Amino acid sequence: MATIRTLLLLLEFFTVSYCLKRRSLGGEWIVRDAAGKYDNLKATVPGGIYTDLMNNKIIGDVFYGSNDTETRWVAQSDWIYKSQFLVDDSFLSHNHINLVFEGLDTFATVLINNVEVGSSENMFVRYIFDIKNKLQLGNNTIEVNFLSPIKTAQSLIKKQGYTVPPTCPPDNYRGECHVNQIRKMQASFSWDWGPALPSMGIWKEVYLQAYNSSVIRYLMVDHKDAPNDSWLITVSTYLSTKTGETVQGKLLYNLETDVSLIQQIVDVNQTNTNEDDELKVDYSFTIPKITVRRWWPNGYGEQKLYNFTARWQSGAEIDSKTVKIGFRTIELVQEAIGGSTTPRKFFAGSGLSFYFKVNGLPIFAKGANEIPLDILPEKGQNLQTVDRILESAYSAHMNMLRVWGGGVYESDYFYQKTDELGILIWQDFMFACAMYPTYPEYLNNVKAEVRHQVRRLKSHPSIALWAANNENELALMTNWYGTSSNLELYKDDYIKLYIDTIRSELFNFTTDVTFVSSSPSNGKKTVQENYLSNDPGNSLFGDVHYYNYLVNSLDARTYPIPRFASEYGYQSLPDFDTWLTVTDNIKDLYPNSSFMDHRQHHPFGLIENNLLMMYQLNFNNTTESFYKTYMYYSQIIQAMSIKFETEYYRSFMGRLDSSGHGNTMGALFWQLNDVWVAPTWAGIDYTGKWKMLQYFAKEFFAPTIITAYLDVARQLHIYGMTEIASIFDSRLNVSAVIDVYNWTSFSPIKSTVVDVSLEYGKSLQVAVVDTDNYLNSIGCGSLPTARNNCFFYLSLISGNSVIAPHNLILVSPLKHSNLQTTRVSITSVIQIDDKGTKFEVTVTADGISLFVWLDSHQVRGQFSENGFAQVVPEKAVTFQSETITSVATLENVITVTHLNNHQYQ
């Protein structure tokens, strides 16, 4: 009988139900302003007010020129969206009809047939309104009235009873005030890398849902190690139901493993005693581990995902929800360094470790910080945008991204994509660089946000950590906003919000989660100090954010030696083609222009960028095209600086300095992407074009690298390291090749080979070179000019294969180096596939040339290498076009430049 019952349930599982109905209300709406100046404008849902006004040509492109400030009136106005929809008898006959908004931005009142059915106050919450008794047969109207977020934020400043700083952003941000008063994308009121465009609108899906018994609201699937070589799977299914109602039916769980379809049936007869309109049904079962494969981060193994489906049946009504799960264990290891309890002592020293262990394997987190994919939130939902950014991260060997706390919780598709690509997510809650209110209504608003987002995202194997905020512990304890005069008051608020509310609410839903109270923080040490350390970001504990634009960025003494570097970075400018998408006036592109000042939101940004460039490069500010050189220089300095800093951090993997600093196990640079065309820290500009930094990331994040840095005594310390997981319990035997070149010849003047045995996760010192004396002894010239005449060129060889990116190491600033005037040209373009999307480009040089930069201009795509050092007469790189093109087209559009001709132009 049990077998027959199961077969019947399976048959029903694949049967379409005609009882439950869902109807999208997206598409064309109309919008008007509350003051009556604009009426009957076409609108698109999902969407936002800026996009709609641009489409109606009421305003120009907000990303062009200075339109971001010229359209300030948009966010200071109230807007009304309206649409009509039909319902028939079969729809109305259902016991429950809900109106579901997956995202409302932000303060809105919702009316059905001119009757208010609900309101919103949080951009990050799903709103569900019961409208069964508000509908009528035939035509119905829906209206959503949005209030200005700027005016609403202003109206809330007295709710706390005292100042909640900062009240306004710095003047350079050209932003709006009081964003910390509201639960909206914090960056939408401006940041030092983005404009103030506080949108309003229905930014995610809106739909009607009609049913008789219940529907599945959330499906959370956890798993952990169990006895007998099994996985214990814990499922939490949230069914819609009113408080006090009893739900009766069956839940059928299906898990598609590698060997079979595993089924579990749960009879449900429960009464909802919660205040929420949801009933939680918990169920656990085990499966043999042999039936599934593990999910691994990018670079460590496959990203195997399995369909897990919950099917709810009550009578003839059926609803189902499927999530893709990955079987992996992940933990944040914080143990006394030198006192490891594991059989293999991974570290030695003092302080606490801070690293992620996935499936029992310690990993070095390599990646970047992700800011919102667009400052207009509906545009950040675009699938092509998500694909472009995440695939760029994947191809640069990134295994972790930090979803930064001043933006948004990204789309379902975003996290599905990170699961597929093996990119771990450090997920901030959306609080950044501010103090926040703690009055009861605000805290209840936050609770609703946490409840929704945790249940929505928890099942994703890519979610590695939840952090309560970005930099707010650091801001409070180091007095960024003048809080020291009433420190205890603000400390109490901090605990109320991040610990008593966010942490508590998170752990209400799951304890199988990693949580830190802030970033940066001292990890366990911060917890021991009641979540507020006197020294946040101590490099012996937790994670560190570090920025310094006033000192030489290629000097090792500049940088801390942290356990985990979760933020660091340098600015650069997008290139000329990208700037032409936002202005047609060439003079706007001069570094000192008023337009460039408008786009430079970082205080003293121009001065700091100039200073960083002048440490390394000669300025020839008299040429007419210097503005193009400036863009190019800025990308060189950004790429060089983050490369140097990242490799420096990687060189401390598994080792300590004499003061106990080191055992560094993470490097997430700031920042991956852009929200407009401007001087920013991004490696990928707003058009999706890779800057030099993104190309360099492919090399400095490679699984195996060789690098070097100079100490204060001008000793060159050369290190090799590998993260090839397959050698965890063995060694990688390679040859380190240390070549020294004179700038005048393609042939090295000295080549040394050192045989080394690399251990997984542990940086190995290959050699220490007394630089000046060594260069003098091998014919680079007399001291101290020998360092200007020569450079080191490092590689790792296994057999006849180069297994790590070549690494050019300077021992003198570029401006003092004896670079030669050279000619570099493209001598051939050959199609190497049958689709017309992949080509080989041959670059020829008559002398050693630095930062050789290829640009495909109108043809979007990526080169296999770019910004490279050419130390051979002829070099071939591949170009992968995003669209079908031809050799003839590429021969006309690809250009090449290099530092030598800029230095001597």
**Catalytic annotation, residues:** 471, 567
Distance CA 20, CA 207 (A): 13
Amino acid of residue 886: S
Residue-wise DSSP of 69-93: HHTHHHHTS-EEEEEEEEE-HHHHT
Please give the structure tokens belonging to residue 460: 């994703």
Omega into 106 within 30° of 0, i.e. cis?
Answer: yes
Residue found by looking up tokens 């400052």 in the block: 375
Please give the structure tokens belonging to residue 423: 């990119």
Helix 383-395 vs helix 412-421: angle between axes, to the nearest 10 degrees? Answer: 30
Distance CA 814, CA 527 (A): 46
Contact 869, 851 (CB under 8 A): yes
Neighbours of 563 (CB within 10 A): 29
Contact 406, 100 (CB under 8 A): no
Total count of residues recorded for the chain:
905
Distance CA 816, CA 819 (A): 8
Q: Which residues pair with 791 in a beta bridge?
A: 741
Q: How remote is the C-alpha of 404 from its chain's centroid? A: 7
Contact 518, 474 (CB under 8 A): yes
Residue-wise DSSP of 756-804: EEEEBTB-EEEEEEEHHHHHHHTTS-STTTHHHHEEEEEEEEETTEE-S
Please give the structure tokens belonging to residue 660: 């106990």
Contact 779, 808 (CB under 8 A): no
Contact 439, 417 (CB under 8 A): no
Contact 243, 202 (CB under 8 A): no
Distance CA 544, CA 474 (A): 10
Edge-to-edge strand list for the sheet holding 365-370: 515-516, 463-467, 424-428, 400-403, 365-370, 666-669, 565-568, 544-546
Residue-wise DSSP of 683-752: SB-TTS-B-HHHHHHHHHTSSEEEEEEE-TT-EEEEEEEE--GGGTTSEEEEEEEEEEEETT-SS-SEEE
Q: Is 226 in a helix, a strand, or coil? A: strand
Residue found by looking up tokens 């920025």 in the block: 547
Distance CA 596, CA 609 (A): 13
Contact 878, 841 (CB under 8 A): yes
Amino acid of residue 559: Y
Q: HSE of 602 in the Cβ direction (CA atoms, 13 Å)?
A: 17
Contact 559, 567 (CB under 8 A): no
Distance CA 46, CA 261 (A): 37
Residue found by looking up tokens 């294969």 in the block: 801
Supply the Cα-derived Rg of the chain in whole angstroms.
Answer: 29
Neighbours of 566 (CB within 10 A): 30
Distance CA 465, CA 446 (A): 19
Contact 796, 803 (CB under 8 A): yes
Find, among 601, 133, 96, 698, the residue nearest to 375 by Cα: 601
Q: Is 482 in a helix, a strand, or coil? A: coil
